[in-house]
């Protein structure tokens, strides 16, 4: 019988400890930033919640490393029920609206959970499983296969938007879908058909689905003078975020010393605008560290996907990487005035317990894909990579 020491040594050798270290470093830096951003808010509960989520996330990372992701994927009917069930729960008394008017949270016993964070990971697993099955046992590019994939995406996106009005997380589903079908090998002509369909659907959604507030938020970075000429409405926080970034210069003003960060000018300074707070108090150097850490995590997910033994594992890794990349680009962009404010967290840095432990869970799944040994027929290629 192998000793416990050898088992532990084998675990740490096979698990993706580089990925874990990168995620832990990002989370600790996020905790420092959140602690400073909430310093004047009169409560330490934000730090306690984030710390608890970090502990839960670390446990999930290691647990999901040793559980084969295929086990979850094989239970796809249950995952499908969970995916749509989590959305429908928002209609119960547990669901509530935040200050943006989105009904995107569940609250019980004083704890708030955003179901979309869990749904995104479930959607990645389900779509990766479906694509791998179609690629290996069916015709991936047949009209029936494409219809099935689009039906899943369309039902999920429509139901989530109708109930929650949370456009930001709904867009993540689209980005993940586009990346996964491309990586799986869907032919270019289907993307051309999809582009034509979107050219028809977007004007309809703009006129009949999106609220005036959502439209204004989307257009604000590009038409601020027309939408908010006074600067005291929708553009107030984005303008404060840009002021915070410009005030930080190279090294920042120092923790607890940022004018915008330590005032009430930025209501979501610990969440949506955490990047701006980091920029003000840690400077350009802090911003570069944030971007480098997240880019390293994304590239590590891609690397694991490219070197794993299965189509399913590759697609899961690419799905997680695309989710992270989209959220990073949007979060940084909205603080710099380049993208709309659509309420997406900056992974590992923004305040949000459900976001943090779900991200660690997703990283645990990626680590688990690396943890699985390659089949014999692939081992001879190890030296190539």
pLDDT at 67 over 80: yes
Residue whose token pair is 């600067």: 231
At 381, the pLDDT band (50, 70, 90 cuts) reads: very low
Residue at 379 is within a domain: no
What is the Cα–Cα distance from 37 to 266, expressed in whole angstroms?
A: 10
At 373, the pLDDT band (50, 70, 90 cuts) reads: low
pLDDT digits (tens, 9 = 90+) for 305-318: 999 889 999 999 99
What is the Cα–Cα distance from 301 to 124, expressed in whole angstroms?
A: 13
Residue at 210 is within a domain: yes
Burial of 39 per CB tally in 10 Å (0-12, 13-18, 19+) = middle
Residue at 3 is within a domain: no
pLDDT digits (tens, 9 = 90+) for 171-185: 999 999 999 999 999
The answer to whether 32 and 255 are in contact (CB under 8 A) is yes
What pairing do the DSSP bridges indicate for beta strands 111-113 and 95-96?
Answer: unpaired
* Weakest-pLDDT range from 53-57, 76-80, 106-110, 288-292: 106-110
Q: What is the largest CA-CA distance in the chain?
A: 73
- Domain residues for 91? 15-372
Residue at 237 is within a domain: yes
Annotate 256-280 with DSSP letters as a single string.
T--TTTTSSS-TTTTTTTHHHHHHH
Residue at 384 is within a domain: no
Which of 125-134, 211-220, 337-346 is most confident?
Answer: 125-134
At 2, the pLDDT band (50, 70, 90 cuts) reads: low
Return the structure tokens found at 65. Answer: 């490393």
pLDDT at 42 over 90: no
* Weakest-pLDDT range from 62-71, 82-91, 174-183, 222-231: 222-231
Q: What integer is the mean pLDDT of 342-352?
A: 91
3-class DSSP state for residue 330? Answer: helix
What is the Cα–Cα distance from 186 to 23, expressed in whole angstroms?
A: 32
Residue at 10 is within a domain: no
pLDDT at 51 over 60: yes
* pLDDT given for residue 376 in this prediction: 39
Q: How many residues does the chain have?
A: 385
Residue at 255 is within a domain: yes
Number of folded domains that form the chain: 1
Q: What integer is the mean pLDDT of 5-25?
A: 88
pTM, two decimals, is 0.92
Residue at 127 is within a domain: yes
């Amino acid at each position: 019988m192998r000793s416990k020491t050898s088992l532990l040594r084998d675990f740490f050798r096979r698990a993706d400890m580089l990925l874990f270290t990168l995620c832990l470093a990002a989370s600790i830096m996020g905790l420092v930033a959140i602690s400073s951003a909430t310093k004047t808010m009169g409560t330490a509960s934000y730090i306690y919640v984030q710390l608890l989520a970090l502990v839960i996330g670390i446990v999930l990372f290691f647990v999901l490393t040793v559980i084969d992701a295929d086990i979850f994927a094989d239970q796809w009917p249950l995952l499908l029920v969970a995916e749509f069930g989590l959305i429908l729960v928002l209609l119960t008394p547990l669901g509530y609206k935040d200050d943006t008017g989105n009904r995107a949270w569940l609250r019980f016993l004083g704890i708030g959970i955003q179901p979309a964070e869990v749904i995104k990971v479930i959607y990645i697993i389900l779509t990766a499983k479906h694509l791998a099955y179609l690629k290996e046992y069916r015709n991936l590019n047949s009209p029936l296969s494409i219809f099935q994939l689009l039906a899943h995406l369309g039902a999920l996106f429509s139901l989530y938007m109708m109930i929650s009005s949370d456009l930001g997380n709904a867009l993540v589903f689209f980005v993940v879908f586009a990346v996964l079908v491309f990586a799986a090998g869907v032919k270019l002509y289907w993307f051309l058909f999809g582009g034509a369909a979107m050219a028809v659907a977007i004007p309809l959604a703009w006129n009949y689905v999106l609220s005036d507030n959502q439209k204004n938020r989307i257009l604000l970075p590009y038409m601020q003078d027309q939408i908010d000429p006074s600067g005291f409405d929708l553009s107030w926080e984005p303008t404060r975020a840009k002021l915070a970034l410009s005030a930080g210069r190279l090294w920042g003003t120092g923790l607890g010393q940022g004018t915008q960060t330590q005032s009430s000018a930025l209501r979501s300074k610990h969440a949506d605008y955490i990047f701006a707070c980091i920029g003000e108090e840690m400077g350009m150097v802090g911003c570069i560290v944030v971007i480098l850490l997240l880019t390293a995590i994304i590239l590590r997910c891609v690397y694991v996907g490219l070197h794993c033994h299965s189509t399913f594992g590759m697609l899961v890794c690419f799905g997680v990487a695309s989710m992270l990349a989209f959220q990073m680009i949007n979060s940084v962009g909205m603080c710099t005035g380049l993208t709309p404010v659509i309420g997406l967290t900056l992974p590992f840095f923004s305040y949000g317990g459900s976001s943090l432990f779900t991200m660690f869970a997703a990283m645990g799944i990626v680590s688990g894909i690396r943890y699985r040994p390659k089949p014999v027929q692939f081992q001879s290629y190890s030296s190539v990579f």
